[in-house]
Every structure is written in structure tokens, then in C-alpha cells.
Structure 1
Amino acid sequence: MKKALYFMPDISGFTNFVNNTEVEHSIHIIAELLEILLDSTVLDLELVEIEGDALFMYTTTIPEYSNLMEQTNRMLEAFHKHTVNYDKMRICDCGSCRTTTNLELKFLVHYGDLSYIKVKHIVKPYGRDVIQIHRLLKNKITTNEYILFTNSVFELYKKQMDNSWQRETGIYDAKVLDYFYKNLEQVRNAIVLKASLTTSQNEEFSTPVLVLEKIFNANIHSIYSYLSELKYRHLWDKNIKRIEFNESKINRVGTEHNCVLSLGNLKFKTITAPSEEDLIYGEKTDNMMFTKNYSYLVKLHKIDETSTQVVLNVYLDFTTVGTMMRPSILNMIRKMWEEKLTQLHQVSKNNIQL
């Protein structure tokens, strides 16, 4: 019978969220991470299926020990570089987004028989050895991030394994199974340390050309969802016909979208500003007529659970022609934002489609 090396990267660390935004964002975050793991594959691994937060893969070409460990390290480094970068670029403060850096990755590796099951057109590995690697997802290991070898994998690589590997025993289906594991937490620690030493790149803003301040009778998080979730933009921005954006990705600093207008379109990029007390969302574009660049920031300050102070700052760098038209352009932008904020107040107060 053919033999195979079964390889399973498994993500853990999300708590159980109940808010709709948190659940939706956790799905997007996990999907991005699984894609990154797949893109980091250097071995001849075939994907069997995606199992929740895990990838179930296998290969009939048994790799060298060094190559297998390189595969693990590549995935782990790519995984944590993404979570750290996501945390630096995120604009959302929901539970899923806020705890992305808490996510952990472990690897399970098993060597055994390769047999298949076919149901209609679907063919995939099946049998005792497939069951065994899944059983070992529950084990006694207290380390958060590790690679686990079953005893059969240990027999393949024991001459290359050093004393950093530890042995453990568990009972599965009334059978005693030995397995070996290696702590991999140092990979994450090194990436987090390096990120902490890197200075954040924040937008620099001059004096705003327009400031509007309102009090909304709505919850701050409801308002922020309507502001930052591009799928809700049509509910309060009536100047656009539609917005084109990647619906499989969560909006963050640097995210681009295209606003299709009655005449032409405008391409925007998401921006923000640092704040410890307020929620801030903004966008910028350099293709607005008569301006070199146009940007805005909306700052939300919580008054109480149902009241929020909303402050809009608009920044403009006019072209030469735009400078001559400055009063009329500012008047047009003021009216436009007065309408947008009025509509935003209504939809956030009534929680329309949220």
C-alpha cells in the first residue's frame, strides 16, 4: 500500500464572538491566513480540504527533515508577519480584529498508509491514519505553538532530531500513542519584537480647510461600522452610484476602492490617525478635479452609549486653477458633507441593515 506524509497546520486563538461584524471579520481574517499558508508551501503538498481553521494536506514524496522544518518555519513566519502587520494597519476595533495578534499556529505531522474514498466525483484520503492525525489535535501539549510528530514520523527523522524535541503519550480510542513535539514560540516572539522596534508610518496632516461638528444620537460603534464598512456606504452617501471594492478583504489602512459617480469615478485609499480615546476613519484621493490631493478624517468621540460627537476634518491641496475657485469648491464640499452626515446620522440611529 502507498504511504503518505500527512501535514496539518491548525490555527487557534479566536474566542467565540457573537457580534455579526466580529463573526464576519473572523471569517475574513482566517481566510486570509489560510491563503498565506498555502502560498508559503514549498514542499510538494497536496491540499485535501480546508477544515475550519486548518489545512489538511499530504504528500507521497517524503521530504528531508531539514526541508520539512523549513516548510514549517516559512509558514509560521508568514503567518505572524501578517497578523502583526494587520494589527498595525487595522481600522476596526471589533473583537476579531483587535485580537488577531493572539492567533496561534501549530503543526501536526503523521506518516502512514494512503488509501482513498470516492463519493461521486470527490476523491480524498481516508482511513485509520487520517483519523489518527485528527485525533491528535487534542493532546497534552501546553505550549501554544509547536510541531507534533507521531511516532511513525519520529522513526523517519529520529537521526536528525535534536534534544529540543520532547516526548509525550496519550490515549486515543483506547490505544496508547506516543508523539513528539518541538516548541516553535521563538519564531513569533522574534517577529513581534522586530515589529515593536519599527516606527509606524502615519499620515501627516496640515490645517483642515473645513471642519464640521455634529452630535449623533447613535452608538459610536454603529456609526463607525457605517463609516468604515464599504458595503454600507450606499446607505448614507447618495452622491455615488456604486462602490467597487474587494468584498473578501476587511477594510484597513491602504485599502483601495473606486467610487463610481454619475460622471466619472474617484479612487480612494483608506487612512486613519492615531488616537487613544476616539475612533477615526478617513480616506484620501489624488484624482479629484482641481486638487492635488483631497483627504478627510471623521473622528468619533463617545459621549454615552447612545450619543456620539462626530467631527469631520477635510484637507485639500489645490491646483493653480483650483486656488482661483477655492470659495466655490469649499462651498460645494461643505454642502456635500452636510448631506452625507445628515444621512449617516439617520442610518446609524436606526441601525438600517446592520
Structure 2
Amino acid sequence: MQKALYFMPDISGFTNFVNDTEVEHSIHVIAELLELLLDNSSIDMQLAEIEGDALFMFSTEIPDYSQLLQQTTTMLEQFHRHTKGYETQRICNCGSCRSAINLELKFIIHYGDLAFIKVKKIVKPYGMDVIKIHRLLKNEVPVNEYILFTDSAYNLYKNDTDETWIKKTEPFDLNIMDYFYKNLENIKDSIVLESIDNSTNTIENSIPDLIIEEIFDINIDVLFSYISQLKYRHLWEKGVRRIDYDSDKINQVGTEHTCVLNVGSLKFETITETTSDNLIYGEKTKDLMFAKNYHYFIRFHKIDENTTKIDINIYFEFTSLGTLVKSRILKRMSKIWENKLVHLHRISTNII
């Protein structure tokens, strides 16, 4: 029977969220990370299935030990670069986005027989070796990030392993199973991201050209969700034909979306400001007529559990022609935001 190396990267660390936003964002985060792992697979492996937070992969071309260790190291490094990026780029404060940095990754590797089962047009690996690697997803390894070899995988590479591999024996069902693991927790600590300036430096004047304040009878997190999640934008951004954006991605710093108007379009980029106290959401564009740059920040202030105050600070860097008609532009922009806030109030009182 043909032999194969089975390879399973498995993500852990999310708790059970009940809030709709948290569940949706956890799905997006896991999907991004699984795509990242696939993109960083340097060994020619076939993806048999996506199983929740794990990838089930296999290869009949058996890689050497150094290739295998390099792949797991690269995957783990890129995984933590991505999760650490949420700390500097996220705008959402939901449980999923806050805890993304705490996600962990382990690798389960097994060498065994390759057999398939076919149901309709679906063909997947099948048999005791498939069961064995899945059993080992739940184990008693005392560290959170590691690479685990079953006894058969270890025997395949035993001439290349060193003293950092630790043997464990554990009961599974009615059987006793030996496996070996190598601690990989040091990799996360070695990842240092370059500092990223989340704010915009395109406007020299730090004084807003326009300030709008409003109070809403709605929970701060719910209001922030309506404003920051692009899927809700059509509910209160009534002055555009449609909003084009990637619905498979979480809106964070650097995310772009396009407001398609009756004539032309405006491309916006999500920005924020560094703060430890308040939720802040912002956007910027260079596409606004009469302005070299335009951006705004919305600061959210919790008054009580069901009341939220927002401050909208709007900034322009006018062109020469824009400077001549500045007052008219600001008056028009004030009207535009007034209309947006009317629709946001309707959302908060369920009168849509």
C-alpha cells in the first residue's frame, strides 16, 4: 500500500464567543490564518480537508527532516507576525479581535498507509492512520506550541533528531500510544514587528476643520459595530450607490473600500489613532474634489450602558481652488454628516 506523510497544523486559543460580531470575526481571523498557512507551505502537499481550525494535509513525496522543520518554523513565524499585527492594526474591540494575538499553533505529523474513501464525488484519505493523527490532536503535551511526531514519523527521521525531542506515552481509547514532541514556543517570542504609525500624517494642521458631536441611545459597542463594519455602511451611508469592499476580511487599519457615486467613486482607507481609553474609528481619502487629503476620526464615549456620545473630527488639506470655496465645502460636508447621523439614529431605534 502507498505510504504518505500526514501533516496537520492546528490553531487553538479562541474561547466560545456568543456575540454575533465576535463569532463572525473569529471565523474571518481563522480563515485568514489558514490561508496564510497554506501560502507558506513550501512542501508539495495536498489539502485533504479544512477541519474547523485545522488543515489536514498529506504528501506521498516524503520531505527530509530539514524541509519539514523549515516549513513548520516558517508557518509559525508568519502565523505570529499576522496575529501580532492585530495589536497594531485592529480597530475592533470585540473578544475575537482582542484575543487574536493569543492564538497558538501546533503541528501533528504522522507517517502511515494512504487509503481513500469515495462518497459521490468526494474523495478523502481514510483508515486507521487517519484516525491516529486525529486522535493526537488532543494530547497531554505540557506546552502550547510544538511539533509532534507519532512513533512512525519519529522512526522515519530518528537519525536527524536531537535531544530537544521528548518522548511521551499516553493511553488513547484502549491502546497505549508513543509519540515525540519538540517545543516551539520560543518562535513566538522572537517575532518583533516594526512599529506602525496608525494615524495619518497627511494633514499638517492638527486642528479639525469641522467638529460634530452627537449622542445616541445605543450601547457603545453596538454603535461602533454599525459604523466600523462595512457590511452595515449601506444602512447609514445613503449618499452613495454602493460600497465595494472585501466581505471576507475584517475592517482594520489599512483596509480599503470604495464608495461608488452616481458620477465617479471615492476610495477610502481605514485609519485610527493610538489611545488606551476610547474606541476610535477613522478613514482617509485623496479622491475628494477640492482637497489634496481628507480624513476624519470618530471618537466614542460611553455615557452609560445604553448611551453613547460621539465626536467627529473632520480634517481637510485643501487645494488652492478648494481654499477659495472652503466655507461652502464645510457647509456641504456638515449637511452630509447630518444626513448620515439621522440614519444612524434610525438604526439605533430600529426604524430602518
TM-score between the two structures when normalised by the length of structure 1: 0.96
TM-superposed CA distance for 1:87, in Å, is 2.3
Q: 1:342 to 1:321 in 2, by over 3 A?
A: same
> For residues 228 and 198 of structure 1, what CA distance do their matches in structure 2 show?
23
Q: Alignment partner of 1:316: what SS?
A: strand
Partner AA of 1:53 in structure 2: D
Q: Partners of 1:154 and 1:336 in 2: how far apart?
A: 66
Q: Which residue of 1 aligns with 2:183?
A: 183
2:252 matched to which residue of 1?
252
Alignment of 1:214-229 (within 5 A): 214-229=214-229
Task: Name 2:11's counterpart in structure 1.
Answer: 11
- Write out the 4+ residue segments of structure 1 that deviate beyond 6 Å after TM superposition: none
Query: Paired residue for 1:198?
Result: 195
Q: Is the 8 A contact 1:216 1:349 kept in 2?
A: no
**Partner Cα separation in structure 1 for residue 10 and residue 136 of structure 2:** 11
Distance in 2 between residues matched to 1:175 and 1:222, nearest whole Å: 51
CA offset digits 1:75-108 (Å, max 9, x no partner)? 1011111111122100000000000011000000
Aligned to 1:62: 62
Counterpart secondary structure, 2:241: strand
d(CA) in 2 for partners of 1:100, 1:201: 18
For residues 116-168 of structure 1, give each alpha carbon's deviation from its aligned partner in whole angstroms, at most 9, with x where no partner exists. 11111111210000000000111111100000000001111111111011010
Q: 1:183 to 1:24 in 2, by over 3 A?
A: same
Q: Is the 8 Å Cα contact of residues 2 and 113 (structure 2) preserved in structure 1?
A: yes
Match of 1:96 in 2: 96
Q: Percent identity?
A: 58
Is 1:85 matched up with 2:97? no
Q: Which deviations, in whole Å up to 9, do the C-alpha atoms of 1:258-286 show, x marking residues without a partner?
A: 10112221110001111211111111100
Pairs aligned (count): 349
1:344 aligns with 2:341: no
Tell me the distance in 2 between the aligned counterparts of 1:76 and 1:35.
13
Please tell me the root mean square deviation across aligned C-alpha atoms, in Å: 1.3
Give 1:324's aligned residue. Answer: 324
2:25 is matched with 25
Q: Which runs of 5+ in 1 are unaligned?
A: none
> Amino acid of the residue matched to residue 203 of structure 1?
T
Q: Tell me, what secondary structure is at the counterpart of 1:99? A: helix
**Alignment match, 1:311:** 311
Q: Equivalents in 1 of 2:262, 2:157: separation in Å? A: 65
Equivalent runs, 1:93-172 vs 2, <5 Å: 93-172=93-172
Distance 1:169 1:267 in 2: 58
3-state SS in 2 of match to 1:132: helix
TM-score under structure 2 length normalisation: 0.97
1:351/1:301 CA distance change after superposition, 3 Å: farther
Partner of 1:294: 294
Contact kept, 8 Å, 2:89 with 2:198, in 1: the verdict is no
